[in-house]
A and B are shown apart, each in its own frame.
Chain A
Amino acid sequence: MSEAPAPHAAEGREPRGPAPRLRIRYSKQGKVRFTSHRDVARIWERALRRAQIPIAYTEGFAPRPKLSFGLALSTGYESLGEYLDVALRVPLDHVAVEQVPALLAPALPAGIEVQSVVALPPGEPSLQQVVTSCTWHIEVGDLGPSDVAAGVARALEATELPLTRERKGQTVTDDVRPAILDLQVLGPVTEVVAPLAPTATGTATALRAELATQPRALRPTELIAAIDPTWVVVRVTRLHQWTQAGGARREVIDLGPAATPPPHAERRAS
């Protein structure tokens, strides 16, 4: 260990200006989807320390690593596109950024896989700021495509789609129709993998939805509740997180067309 170049700052090498940051794209699939957002944050803290990435800490009595995530993924959901920003104490100089995924891989539990790591240019806004919408794969249990299509059509035709939600302890009703940027029925699913609820028939219908995250995020279960509160969501996978660049929409870190598998094609972690 003492042979390796010191991954942390030597005295007098205090960084100037904003801390350098890494942005990590990763997937979360299989059993590990039952960990909470808080759990995942702690898993990352330990994995980054194990990989000897020089994380920056907050000041104060109980210093915490400076990690920031985008829109939290609910416990039980899978994702092919999660993001995490890591503030560094010092610039990464003992290892190239391309080598970071390989360093992190053995430090992460089965089901969490690093897809890409990039160094962020100084001044790059946070994930909370840049992400404007997410694409979701949603499966609704025990319901055929025609029933689902009818519900979807009703929702899309409606001029207003009111939904009552809890917000900071208050019940608020607002129109969620503007947050639905795209909504399509994909077709029947004959075997639900990674289920979130039991199904009577073992079948489901798949939807693909692009939902806005700003000004307020619309979540997949909220979308379904707004369409028809009797529908049961049996699987949710986040496929993309989008940002705006030069008037066009693009993935926050694009892996290229071949690199993003559809949710049924992946090798499942168990």
Chain B
Amino acid sequence: MSSVWTQLEPHLAGVERPARYIGLELGARRPTAAEGAVSWLLTYPDTYEIGLPNQGLQILYEILNERDDAVAERTYAPWSDLEAVMRREGIPLFSVDTHRPAHEFDVLAFNLSAELTYTNLLNCVDLAGVPVRAADRRPEHPLVVAGGHCTYNPEPLADFLDAVVLGDGEEVVAEITEVVRDWKASGRAGGRDGVLRALAQVPGVYVPSLYEVAYGDDGTIAAVTPRHPDVPERVEKRTIADLAEWPYPRRQLVPLTEVVHDRLNVEVFRGCTRGCRFCQAGMITRPVRERPAEQVRTMVSEGLRRTGYDEVALTSLSTADFSGIEEVVEGIVDDPAACGQVSVSLPSLRVDAFTVGIATQIQKARRTGLTFAPEAGTWRMRQVINKLIREDDLYGAVEAAFASGWRRVKLYFLTGLPSETDEDTLGILELARNCVELGRRHTRNVSVKASVGGFVPKPFTPFQWFGQNTLEELERKIGLLRDGARKVKGLQLTWHDPKASLVEGLLSRGDRRLGPVIEQVWREGGTFQEWSEHFSLDRWLKAMADHGLDVDWYVHRHRTEDEVLPWDHLSAGLHRDFLWQDWQDALAEVGLPDCRWTPCYDCGACTGYGIEHVVASTTPPAGGSQGTGQDLSTADRVTSVPVVLRTSSLTGADR
């Protein structure tokens, strides 16, 4: 086992934020692999600051290192300054834990959470000294695999990935380890094809090269067929039945340098059945699996004590829906171990006064800002997207927030939604203006921030058939809002760059023909596309044109019911006819209540897997309304409420 540290070290003082590359975090491992063990390099294809907190990778890091037959280390995309040094000096991609070169690992495993990181994946593979195209790799090269939400349509990356994992990774990493271990022990029998064929037998693992894609005359997919009889026709996602069996991360990494979400994170449930039709995260993670409240409390108190953090986030897609959220939060407040200052973040607040009540009750000092996500400006539009928040719910929540002393409210919206009219778009302005008015009754310094993102349709949602708005249309709508917002004092409008939405749309529903496009954009220097200083739409448009591909056809075209979608041979557990029916209901403006508290719609997520929701409470949360959460697939939308908790015994001493 070698290390590139001595080669790297003299150059670190010359790059930005060198602490990104040194490891040494609390909880970091320097594992030594036993003879025959499988070594994994867990990679987040963006900067350390974005990648380190990724809970998925941290969970796998622990699970793999607990095994005798596996070791796992981590790496992140080196920033462009260090990349230039590495290429000049011939330093390969390395792990931050032991600075071992990436090509010495058996598996390079990527977390794909955002489409705009795809070119970084290619760059990391190339920096590792591994051929970027799977077909060019030899048996001694690492396997390049990926998991994460984007892998529900991995087709644009099919040329570059050896294998893809769908769904929860906790169990399947063990099964992959065993396959690779046995293959290595057999002297790599059958070469690369040997291990890939064996991996294709593991439920939840998709091996793109084992499928043949045929196209029709109209350019759509005619069929996707397995190349061998033993390769499954359809790959189903993996789902862990009980979160209580997986109290991970047990030893959350505490970085030495600043990162996003730099706090203790405890996942309180996985899955969401609110049924927001735009939200891929909600659809693909069904059913709801709650962590027992007692386990949450233990993970919080032990986590705080172990890490020294003074902030904990209770994470999920809609934390206010957690059964008994009030008691859990109170438990954290009253824990004597919370000595000093502990603040609690509740990401993705539901939009109602009840939720504001929780926030008010548990926070004593830091009333800075509250965030809500009504997502659309009119009731009609919210029925289309199944985000059933009444105006009264929103106004009640906002009123309660200002009345309780908050001065800033942030609202999240989407534009470019199916059937959206200008009246719907301008409804965003109307809601925001009314919130400003409500605030005026309580404070002169009212600040309402409205953040608008262009809607990108995602696979395995009812909107997967919808043609995304064009760049011009999104820019026009944002222009309408901008003009209107100027006239409202106290209202600030921010928006996601529609040019980035266009590329996200292209990649999220693209097919294998986009492989050469991604490769060209990467070769022409298009890395770190999530970063506005590196993003270039022109590079993407040029690559599409160079390969004779039509952006309009990929992004803006409505799909028909009978069209074979590039991901139809994969399954997120949802019946296709359920999604189609939900799409028709959307167009008919019919809402669909949460199946946690109404009869099952047989979407497939539970029925197909023989599992069910794990919730402690069978009654809907107080406050009633269905307004909830946010679309986690949009990277810049971090809704959290920082609220400061103090143990009652401390309130006096701190004054």
A residues with a Cβ closer than 8 A to B are 1-2, 6-14, 31-32, 34-36, 38-39, 42-43, 45-50, 52, 54-55, 57, 59, 61-63, 75-76, 89-90, 107, 109-111, 194-199, 234, 270
A233 CA to B5 CA, complexed, in Å: 20
In the bound complex, residues from chain A placing their C-beta under 8 Å from that of B25 are: 109
B308 touches A50 (CB 8 A): yes
Instruction: List the 9 closest A-B pairs by CB distance, nearest first.
Output: A46-B308, A9-B653, A50-B308, A34-B18, A76-B13, A195-B10, A49-B308, A196-B13, A198-B10
B9 in the interface (beta carbon within 8 A): yes
In the bound complex, residues from chain A placing their C-beta under 8 Å from that of B23 are: 31
A194 CA to B610 CA, complexed, in Å: 57
A111 touches B18 (CB 8 A): no
Given A11-B652, A13-B653, A109-B256: A270 touches B5 (CB 8 Å cut-off): yes
- Distance (whole angstroms) from the CB of A64 to the closest CB of chain B: 9
Q: Can you list 15 residue pairs at the A/B interface with Cβ under 8 Å?
A: A6-B339, A11-B649, A14-B652, A14-B655, A31-B23, A34-B13, A34-B18, A34-B21, A36-B257, A50-B306, A50-B308, A57-B340, A63-B644, A111-B24, A195-B10
In the bound complex, residues from chain B placing their C-beta under 8 Å from that of A62 are: 366
B residues with a Cβ closer than 8 A to A are 5, 9-14, 17-19, 21-26, 254, 256-258, 301, 305-310, 336-337, 339-341, 365-366, 368, 644, 649-650, 652-655
A109 CA to B255 CA, complexed, in Å: 10
In the bound complex, residues from chain A placing their C-beta under 8 Å from that of B305 are: 1, 50
B306 touches A109 (CB 8 A): no
A32 touches B256 (CB 8 A): yes
B653: contacting residue among A31, A76, A89, A110, CB under 8 A: A89
- Distance (whole angstroms) from the CB of A244 to the closest CB of chain B: 33
18 new A-B contacts at CB < 8 Å, known A31-B22, A31-B24, A50-B305: A9-B650, A13-B653, A14-B652, A14-B655, A35-B22, A39-B256, A43-B256, A49-B309, A54-B339, A55-B340, A57-B654, A59-B655, A75-B18, A76-B12, A90-B653, A194-B9, A234-B10, A270-B5
- Distance (whole angstroms) from the CB of B81 to the closest CB of chain A: 14
In the bound complex, residues from chain A placing their C-beta under 8 Å from that of B13 are: 34, 75-76, 196-197
A76 CA to B518 CA, complexed, in Å: 37
In the bound complex, residues from chain A placing their C-beta under 8 Å from that of B653 are: 8-9, 11, 13-14, 89-90
In the bound complex, residues from chain A placing their C-beta under 8 Å from that of B24 are: 31-32, 109-111
A83 CA to B18 CA, complexed, in Å: 23
In the bound complex, residues from chain B placing their C-beta under 8 Å from that of A49 are: 308-310, 340
- Distance (whole angstroms) from the CB of B373 to the closest CB of chain A: 25
A12 CA to B649 CA, complexed, in Å: 9
A46 touches B18 (CB 8 A): no
- Distance (whole angstroms) from the CB of A260 to the closest CB of chain B: 24
B5 touches A35 (CB 8 A): no
Please, which residue of chain B has its CB at the minimum distance from the CB of A8? B339
In the bound complex, residues from chain A placing their C-beta under 8 Å from that of B12 are: 34, 76
Please, which residue of chain A has its CB at the minimum distance from the CB of B7? A198
A62 CA to B25 CA, complexed, in Å: 25
A197: contacting residue among B14, B18, B19, B309, CB under 8 A: B14
Given A2-B336, A49-B308, A49-B310: A35 touches B19 (CB 8 Å cut-off): yes
A110 CA to B649 CA, complexed, in Å: 35
- Distance (whole angstroms) from the CB of A237 to the closest CB of chain B: 14
In the bound complex, residues from chain B placing their C-beta under 8 Å from that of A59 are: 655
A197 CA to B17 CA, complexed, in Å: 15
- Distance (whole angstroms) from the CB of A201 to the closest CB of chain B: 13
A50 CA to B368 CA, complexed, in Å: 27
In the bound complex, residues from chain A placing their C-beta under 8 Å from that of B337 are: 1
In the bound complex, residues from chain B placing their C-beta under 8 Å from that of A31 are: 5, 22-24
A12 touches B257 (CB 8 A): no
- Distance (whole angstroms) from the CB of B644 to the closest CB of chain A: 8
A6 touches B336 (CB 8 A): yes
B18 touches A8 (CB 8 A): no
A39 touches B340 (CB 8 A): no
A43 CA to B426 CA, complexed, in Å: 47
A48 CA to B13 CA, complexed, in Å: 28
In the bound complex, residues from chain A placing their C-beta under 8 Å from that of B654 are: 57, 63, 89
A63 CA to B23 CA, complexed, in Å: 29
In the bound complex, residues from chain B placing their C-beta under 8 Å from that of A234 are: 10
Given A8-B649, A11-B653: A45 touches B308 (CB 8 Å cut-off): yes
In the bound complex, residues from chain A placing their C-beta under 8 Å from that of B19 are: 34-36, 39, 75
Interface centre among B258, B339, B644 (most CB of A within 10 A): B339
- Distance (whole angstroms) from the CB of A24 to the closest CB of chain B: 16
In the bound complex, residues from chain A placing their C-beta under 8 Å from that of B18 are: 34, 75-76
- Distance (whole angstroms) from the CB of B368 to the closest CB of chain A: 7
B308 touches A199 (CB 8 A): no
In the bound complex, residues from chain B placing their C-beta under 8 Å from that of A34 are: 12-13, 18-19, 21-22
In the bound complex, residues from chain A placing their C-beta under 8 Å from that of B256 are: 32, 35, 39, 43, 109
A1 touches B368 (CB 8 A): no
B9 touches A39 (CB 8 A): no
Given A34-B12, A54-B340: A12 touches B22 (CB 8 Å cut-off): no
- Distance (whole angstroms) from the CB of B404 to the closest CB of chain A: 15
A61 touches B652 (CB 8 A): no
B26: contacting residue among A75, A109, A270, CB under 8 A: A109
In the bound complex, residues from chain B placing their C-beta under 8 Å from that of A12 are: 652
In the bound complex, residues from chain A placing their C-beta under 8 Å from that of B306 are: 50
A234 CA to B652 CA, complexed, in Å: 51
In the bound complex, residues from chain A placing their C-beta under 8 Å from that of B11 are: 198
A178 CA to B35 CA, complexed, in Å: 62
- Distance (whole angstroms) from the CB of B247 to the closest CB of chain A: 19
Interface centre among A6, A31, A38, A75 (most CB of B within 10 A): A31
Please, which residue of chain A has its CB at the minimum distance from the CB of B650? A8
- Distance (whole angstroms) from the CB of A35 to the closest CB of chain B: 5
Please, which residue of chain A has its CB at the minimum distance from the CB of B653? A9
B257: contacting residue among A2, A7, A35, A48, CB under 8 A: A35
B341 touches A61 (CB 8 A): no
B308 touches A197 (CB 8 A): no
A35 CA to B259 CA, complexed, in Å: 13
A6 CA to B25 CA, complexed, in Å: 29
Please, which residue of chain A has its CB at the minimum distance from the CB of B22? A31
A122 CA to B83 CA, complexed, in Å: 51
- Distance (whole angstroms) from the CB of A195 to the closest CB of chain B: 4
A14 CA to B654 CA, complexed, in Å: 8
A105 CA to B340 CA, complexed, in Å: 21
In the bound complex, residues from chain A placing their C-beta under 8 Å from that of B21 are: 34
B10 touches A32 (CB 8 A): no
A184 CA to B301 CA, complexed, in Å: 54
A75 CA to B22 CA, complexed, in Å: 13
- Distance (whole angstroms) from the CB of B298 to the closest CB of chain A: 12
- Distance (whole angstroms) from the CB of B89 to the closest CB of chain A: 8
A39 touches B258 (CB 8 A): yes
- Distance (whole angstroms) from the CB of B199 to the closest CB of chain A: 36
In the bound complex, residues from chain B placing their C-beta under 8 Å from that of A61 are: 365-366, 368
In the bound complex, residues from chain A placing their C-beta under 8 Å from that of B5 are: 31, 270
Given A2-B336, A50-B305, A50-B308: A63 touches B365 (CB 8 Å cut-off): yes
A197 CA to B5 CA, complexed, in Å: 14
A46: contacting residue among B9, B14, B254, CB under 8 A: B254
A9 CA to B336 CA, complexed, in Å: 12
- Distance (whole angstroms) from the CB of A183 to the closest CB of chain B: 23
A267 CA to B430 CA, complexed, in Å: 66
B649 touches A195 (CB 8 A): no
